Homo-oligomer: A and B are copies of this chain.
Amino acid sequence: MSSATLRALGPPGILLAVTAAGIHNPLVVSLGLSALAGLFTFQAIPVVSGVFVAHGRAGKDLLKVGTPVIPESMGAIAGVIYIIAMFLFIPVPFVKWFRESSFALGDGDLVFPHNKFAQVLGGLLALMSMLFLGFADDVLDIRWRVKIWLPLIASMPLLMVYCVTYGGTDVVVPIPLRPLFDGKLVHLGIFYYAFMAALAIFSTNAINILAGVNGVEAGQSLVIALSIAANDVLQLFRNPSRAEAHLTSLYFVLPFIGVTIGFLAHNWYPARAFPGDTYCYFAGMIFAVVGILGNFSKTVLLFMLPQIFNFVYSCPQLFHIVDCPRHRMPSLDPKTGLLNPTSFLIPASPSLPARLIIRIFSATGLLRITKRDPKTRAPLAANNLTLMNLLLVRIGPMREQNLALAVVVVQAACSALAFVVRYGLVRWVYDVAEDNRA
């Protein structure tokens, strides 16, 4: 064998051997498969890029001089490799039952956990649906008002699985609010399902609107996924009674970390591959799936603070209270090579809600007037209401890779804050930090 072949086959071979050797420890297998999935994603993207571009799956990189054409929808490759890794992994946590061959419901000591199995299938079904809908959106450019509902369809089997495997919709009432309710628990019923559906809709779209700069979609997703994995590991030690839920979460999130790293290597500045809606939707659905199946959706939302901020901050534009230009991405100054914030126009006499928002956001440092009438000093334009424009306004113009890094740092800082809230401050609002249901 030539040394080139050895170098090409060596790492996957070693990983495969480690994975196979760990067959009786699902976590070892999951780690091995995740590393393999990352490696294959990294190797597959350059191979398929030409095919994607040839079939029109390509977009212009607007923040580069000459706007080069970059293969688009590469989330489809990351997603397919993730799904294959998961399909291969499905049997692993159930190996001991396979050896005993007792699959019947209720006979023998070692009853096959069909409910756990259904959870994994339900999660994968939601992910597979979102992968298809994301790719269909990339190809067909589905309208906004239609596509924000797609995750609702994809999350239906997940809610059903939640219903038959947990079923509980009781939520622990925070201590300060308890005088308002009868007792510690409040039964949310159908509203809890509405909350979970809303989580799926929010998290799939949230990554998609904090986007547009090389590496930023995969970068933020990587930090969220790592935070979820860290929380799972922490819970495995602190809260053994919930070990199974957090193991399931790890099994879903580790291969995602793998394929995201493999993809990010091509997507980081200067990008040679774009994620497409396919990746953003898929990443968002991963977070919804682990939150719902692991029964810790509140914690997942805590890890998405920058996305929540970005969404709330964007609302005045998304709901057209103030002007919303077609693109709100930062713009490149070809002379300096730095990104600058972009602006929306303020009409001569803005509506009352628009005036209020501009005044409040200006006072809190969330908005900078970028253009004024030279005579009257009346505001004519202000920065677009996105986290990235805000970072450029507060820190000043910077290179594209630094802006992506800034978003990743903000995301990581928010995760650190989330851990403090989750394990520190929680004592003030709940009796114990361990039971983080819902």
- How many angstroms from the CA of A112 to the CA of B87 in the assembled complex? 25
Q: Are the CB atoms of B105 and A115 closer together than 8 Å?
A: yes
| Cβ of A222 to closest chain B Cβ, rounded Å | 24
Q: Are the CB atoms of A106 and B114 closer together than 8 Å?
A: no
Q: How large is the interface on A (under 10, 10 to 19, 20 to 34, 35 or more residues)?
A: 35 or more
Residue A419, interface by CB 8 Å: no
- How many angstroms from the CA of A98 to the CA of B80 in the assembled complex? 34
Q: Are the CB atoms of A121 and B128 closer together than 8 Å?
A: no
Residue A391, interface by CB 8 Å: no
Taking a contact as CB atoms closer than 8 A, the residue among B98, B131, B167 that contacts A132 in the complex is B131
Residue A124, interface by CB 8 Å: yes
Taking a contact as CB atoms closer than 8 A, the residue among B118, B129, B153 that contacts A117 in the complex is B118
| CB neighbours of A90 from chain B (8 A) | 156-157, 160
Taking a contact as CB atoms closer than 8 A, the residue among B113, B125, B136, B165 that contacts A103 in the complex is B165
| CB neighbours of A112 from chain B (8 A) | 115, 164
Q: A115-B114, A129-B128, A139-B55 are in contact. Are A106 and B103 (CB under 8 A)?
A: no
- How many angstroms from the CA of A97 to the CA of B160 in the assembled complex? 13
- How many angstroms from the CA of A80 to the CA of B153 in the assembled complex? 10
Residue A69, interface by CB 8 Å: no
Q: Are the CB atoms of A157 and B76 closer together than 8 Å?
A: no
Residue A161, interface by CB 8 Å: yes
Interface of A toward B, CB cutoff 8 Å: 51-52, 55-57, 76, 80, 83-84, 87-88, 90-91, 94, 97-98, 101, 103, 105-106, 111-115, 117-118, 121-122, 124-125, 128-129, 131-132, 135-136, 139-141, 153, 156-157, 160-161, 163-165, 167
Given contacts A114-B118, A121-B121, A125-B128, 4 further A-B contacts (CB under 8 A): A55-B140, A98-B163, A112-B164, A135-B135
